[in-house]
Amino acid sequence: MGLSVLCAGLPVAGVIYSFQISDGVGKTIVLFLVLASIVVWTIMIAKHLELRRAEKADQLFMHAFDRQENPLEIFVRGPAHPVSPMAKVYAAACVAVKREFESQAHKQHRALNQIDLSQERLTALQIDAIRKVAECAAADQILLLEDQMAMLGSAYTIAPMLGLFGTVWGVMVSFEAMGKQGMANLSAVAPGISSALLTTVVGLVVAIPSAYGSNRLNEKIRFLSIQMENFSEKFAARLQQSFLYE
């Protein structure tokens, strides 16, 4: 009953009528905006689910990292937390640590299987280089998180302008028809004005959710980005505590 009342209160019939009497340009703009709305909602829902999974995975990884005594323990045990962007930053940093140890072993003419993590040491310059590797890996993960966000920004920027273009076009056509008739007949012009305004309405329907969704998603991406940047510093600090030459 409530749904019927709501639908009855909406100018659905007027919207359909305005679309039907629109010219080719107006119909093309409306159909394009409807398609853009579908794409925008698909991106926002998919990105929301992706960020929520990433946040939960980061929390699980961070909890596991804080519990280990050796900062390389998770890496030595094997791949873990594949969904976590922070874990990928950690893996990249650990690979850099492994290369430093292998380089030291090569210079000392030791076999790679003789590397003992409890005995190896790193200089401050090596740890700083590893930190930079972690920061680069974090930047790469941030770019992946921001994938398709530019499309949302384009949607809430272009949709109103495209709708306004359709309205201006429709009004221009209506006044041209009124000029050819040689008289200002409101009943003859009103349908054309109505169809012209339809594109602006559809443009705003696309733009408003896009702007809100984009802001919320960017806020979540910024949070995850700061978390990864902080982890790079935290990992470097743990390396100093465990492996820095004294």
Calculated CA dihedral for residues 204, 206, 210, 211, nearest 10 degrees: -10
Number of domains in the chain: 1
For 88-95, what is the mean pLDDT? 95
**φ/ψ (deg, to 5) at 123:** -85, 170
Residue 24 in domain:
yes
Tell me: the pLDDT tens digits for 185-229?
666 666 677 778 888 999 999 999 999 999 999 999 999 999 999
Residue 139 in domain:
yes
Residue 7 in domain:
no
Residue 168 in domain:
yes
pLDDT at res. 91: 94
Residue 1 in domain:
no
pLDDT at res. 2: 40
pLDDT at res. 183: 60
Grouping H, G, I as helix, E, B as strand and the rest as coil, residue 183 is coil
Residue 231 in domain:
yes
pLDDT at res. 25: 83
Residue 6 in domain:
no
Range of the domain at 49: 13-243
Q: What is the pTM of this model?
A: 0.82
pLDDT at res. 100: 87
Residue 192 in domain:
yes
pLDDT at res. 6: 36
71 vs 102, which has greater pLDDT? 71
Tell me: the pLDDT tens digits for 141-168?
999 999 999 999 999 899 999 999 988 8
2 vs 19, which has greater pLDDT? 19
pLDDT at res. 10: 47
Q: What is the rounded CA–CA span in Å between residue 21 and residue 28?
A: 13
* Count, residues in the chain: 246
What percentage of the chain exceeds 90 in pLDDT?
52
